[in-house]
């Protein structure tokens, strides 16, 4: 059974992961995107797939945040991506 401390620590990890992934996604997007990136499929944001995977690998290398890449598909959003951490 997980302790309350472990639960809150997991919550902090997810919050930090969401911040980092959001920041990196915004770096790949045009400045004038003007859309809700939380719930829009990443494929619809106009991000090149190679750039996206390089971003994921860089996040893992720089921050130690591992994302289950085998569960990604064209409908993945920022919110579902964070859930894969």
- Domain-wise residue ranges, the chain: 4-83
Where does residue 81 rank: exposed (0-12), middle (13-18), buried (19+ CB within 10 A)?
A: buried
In the chain, at which residue ranges do the beta strands (DSSP E only) sit? none
Is residue 46 very low, low, confident or very high in pLDDT (cuts 50, 70, 90)? confident
Tell me which DSSP letter residue 71 carries: G
Q: How is 29-72 classified by DSSP, letter by letter?
A: S-TT--S-TTTS-GGGGT--HHHHHHHHHHHHHHH-----GGG-
Q: Measured between alpha carbons, how far is 83 from 3 in angstroms, rounded to an integer?
A: 20
The residue whose two tokens read 């997007």 is: 29
Considering 4-8, 30-34, 80-84, the range whose residues carry the highest mean pLDDT is 80-84
Mean pLDDT of 4-15: 55
> What architecture is the 4-83 domain classified under in CATH?
Orthogonal Bundle (1.10)
Is the whole model's pTM more than 0.85, yes or no? Answer: no
């Amino acid at each position: 059974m997980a302790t309350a401390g472990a639960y809150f620590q997991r919550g902090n990890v997810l919050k930090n992961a969401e911040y980092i992934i959001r920041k990196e996604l915004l770096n790949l997007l045009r400045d004038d995107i003007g859309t809700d990136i939380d719930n829009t499929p990443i494929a619809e944001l106009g991000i090149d797939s190679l750039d996206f995977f390089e971003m994921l690998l860089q996040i893992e290398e720089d921050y130690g945040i591992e994302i289950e890449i085998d569960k990604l598909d064209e409908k993945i959003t920022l919110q579902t991506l964070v859930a894969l951490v």
